[in-house]
Structure 1
Amino acid sequence: MNLLVWLEPWEFSPTVVIAIVAAAVLFARGVSKAKVSIARQLSFWFGLVALYIALHTRLDYFFEHEFFMHRAQHLVLHHLGPFFIALSYPGAAIRAGIPFSWRQRFVRPMLQTRAVRATLDVVMHPVVAVVLFVGLIYFWLLSPVHFVAMLDWRLYRVMNWSMVIDGLLFWWLVLDSRPAPPARLSPGRRVLVVIAAIPPQLVLGAFIFFSPRELYPVYSICGRAFTWLSPMRDQQIGGLLLWIPGSMMSVIGALIALRHWMRLSGRARLREEHTSPAKAVSAANARPSPVRHP
């Protein structure tokens, strides 16, 4: 069996193709100019390929016909793919990949508009970021909402893209390695933000796993891809994917944010130790010499 067949789209989406190709081209163009390390390049390409596989391959059939496969898809779209893309810190490379004239005429004016700045200020606020990150998971897993989203292909794509965009914004906010400013949050607040997102995921995953009834009958109505798997077992596996791997990704994100916090704190202490002797010497030189009386 030809494994490349699995890379063919189950339902072709020009939006996915344009977005993936544009990101790939811009990053590839900017790698040499921004001097991106091999590790960061591998992280970016892994995240981008993971998003493509979860959005635009034959696996989409299984994502639409098994609850646990759907949860695996959203684990990639909301956690894994955006996490590795944000971990590669691709901003400088993507910016360098955009032609300079385009940056001057289109990108910079657009980013400086009041609407864009206000939107980013809202969605990147720490409280809003946590509420959106967790709230989207809860919203799309509400049984009536989930039922309609799995039947309407337009809402299904909105659901998937909302997870991708929110995942990129959240992990970009949390995994930022810079001090604040220019980062939006201080290192300590980044740690708190990602930790705050863990308990709600644990609660929802446990609720789905221990639920005594079938919460998502749409998969039984439309036909399941794996007939040997009972609806309750399918639901339990899906709950586990949210309960354990989803929460573990947040724990890993918290550890990385904590590492950045310790690194930035260490650099601040080194700067203080480096400048304190100079300040002492300058203070001594500025001190008036005592007056000697004969």
Structure 2
Amino acid sequence: MNPLYWLDPWEPSPTVVIAVIVTAVLFVRGKRHARVSLARQISFWFGLGALYVALHTRLDYFFEHEFFMHRAQHLVLHHLGPFFIALAYPGAALRAGIPFMWRQRFVRPMLNARPVRAMLDVVMHPVVAVTLFVGLIYFWLLSPIHFIAMLDWRLYRVMNWSMVIDGLLFWWLVLDPRPAPPARLAPGKRVLVVIAAIPPQIVLGAFIFFTSHELYPVYSICGRAFTWLSPMRDQQIGGLLLWIPGSMMSVIGALIALRHWMRLSARGRLKRAQGTRKPTRAAHQHDVQHT
């Protein structure tokens, strides 16, 4: 079988294609003006490529017809893809990729608009960020909601896009390498935020794994992609994917946030209760390069 067969979308979506192409073009244009290391470029392209594969390839058929494949898809959409994009710190490159006139006329006024700033203040609040990150997983895995979402293609796409957008917001908040300000959260709070997201994922994954009856009959009703896999085994594998890899991604995120905290502390870039140490020129240039 031709490997390109798997890149053929199961259900074509112009929205996915446009979003991916625009993001890629902005990054390519912007990295000419903003310093982006090779490691950060690889991280960005891996994350963007992972999102495209999970949203717009032949694999989508399996995501719709096996619960554990669906959980693998959301692991990529909510954790893996956004994680690697945020790890690349692409904000400066993406901004630089926008034509200067557009930035002045459209982007800056939009970001400075009071409703937009108020909305970002709400969704980027640490309590709200954790609640949304975990709450969306719980919401879409409620049996009645999940049943409808897997049958209605419009709600199915809303579900997937909500996971992508929330994942980007959460990991962008947690993996920000800068001190606060300009970052929204102090480095210590970033570590606490991502740690707080771990226990609820473990609890839900364990609940799905140990439940003795079928929670998601929609896959049996619509037909399963792997007929050799029993519904309960499918459900158990899906629970494990949420329980172990999902939680491990959060642990890795906490370790990276802790590393940023230690780096900023060593460079004297953290606010202190009694006075602050003036940052060195080298430390300032290091932080600028990571914005």
Q: TM-score per shorter chain, which class?
A: over 0.9
The offset of 1:269, in angstroms, is 7.9
Aligned to 1:60: 60
Q: Does structure 1 conserve the Cα–Cα contact (< 8 Å) formed by 2:122 and 2:128?
A: yes
- Which runs of 5 or more structure 1 residues have no equivalent in the other structure? 276-294
Q: How does 1:90-239 map to 2 (within 5 A)?
A: 90-239=90-239
User: Which protein shows a greater Rg?
Assistant: 1
The 8 Å contact of residues 129 and 170 in structure 2, kept in 1 or not, is answered as yes
Q: CA deviation at 1:93?
A: 0.2
Partner Cα distance (2:103, 2:269) in 1: 37
| C-alpha deviation, 1:69, in angstroms | 0.1
2:65 is matched by which residue type in structure 1?
A: H
Whole-angstrom distance in 1 between the partners of 2:111 and 2:277: 36
| Cα distance between partner residues in 1 of 2:112 and 2:187 | 25
Alignment RMSD:
1.4
> Using the alignment, how far apart are the partners of 1:205 and 1:57 within structure 2?
27
**In the alignment, residue 158 of structure 1 is paired with which amino acid?**
V
CA distance 1:209–1:118, shift in 2 (3 Å):
same
Determine the structure 1 residue equivalent to 2:14: 14
For residue 33 of structure 1, give the secondary structure of its aligned residue in structure 2: coil
Cα distance in 2 for residues equivalent to 1:100 and 1:116: 21
Q: What residue in structure 1 maps to residue 259 of structure 2?
A: 259
- CA deviations 1:42-97 (Å, max 9, x no partner) are 00000000000000000000000000000000000000000000000000000000
In structure 1, the residue corresponding to 2:33 is in which secondary structure?
A: helix
**1:255: Cα distance to partner?**
0.1
Give the Cα separation in 1 of the matches to 2:279 and 2:228. Answer: 67
Q: Which residue of 2 aligns with 1:44?
A: 44
- The residue number in structure 2 matching 1:278 is none
- The structure that is helix-richer by fraction is 1
Percent sequence identity over aligned pairs: 85
Q: Name the residue aligned to 2:286.
A: none
Give, as a single letter, the amino acid of the residue that structure 2 aligns with 1:242: L
Contact between 2:268 and 2:279, CA under 8 Å: does it hold in 1? Answer: no
Give the alignment's TM-score, normalised by structure 1: 0.92
Cα distance in 2 for partners of 1:147, 1:41 equals 38
Unpaired segments of 5 or more residues in structure 2? 271-275, 281-291
2 CA distance for matches of 1:7 and 1:265?
A: 45
The alpha-carbon deviation at position 272 of structure 1 amounts to 4.2
Tell me how far apart the structure 1 counterparts of residues 107 and 14 of structure 2 sit (CA, whole Å): 22
State the alpha-carbon separation in 1 of the partners of residues 13 and 175 from structure 2. 30
* Cα shift at 1:35: 1.6
The offset of 1:17, in angstroms, is 0.5
**Cα distance change on mapping 1:74 and 1:274 into 2, 3 Å:** closer
* TM-score normalized with structure 2 length: 0.93
Q: Is the 8 A contact 2:133 2:167 kept in 1?
A: yes
Match of 1:289 in 2: none
Q: Structure 1 274/114 Cα, relative in aligned 2: closer, same or farther at 3 Å?
A: closer
In structure 2, the partner of 1:280 is none
Alignment-derived partner of residue 279 in structure 1? none
Shift >6 Å, 4+ stretches: none
Letter in 2 for 1:170: F
SS of the equivalent of 2:10 reads coil
> Quick one: distance in 1 between partners of 2:225 and 2:30?
42
Q: Secondary structure at the match of 2:181?
A: coil
Residue equivalent to 1:79:
79
Aligned-pair CA distance for 1:274: 9.1
Task: Kindly provide the CA deviation profile for residues 81-128 of structure 1, in whole angstroms up to 9, marking residues without a partner as x.
Answer: 000000000000000000000000110011111111010000000000
Structure 1 residues 186 and 273: alpha-carbon distance in aligned structure 2, compared to 1, 3 A threshold:
closer
1:269–1:115: structure 2 CA closer, same or farther, 3 Å change rule?
A: closer
Equivalent-residue separation in structure 2 for 1:154 and 1:272 (angstroms): 53
CA–CA separation in structure 2 for the residues paired with 1:121 and 1:8 = 39
Structure 1 match to 2:25: 25
User: 3-state DSSP class of the match of 2:229?
Assistant: coil
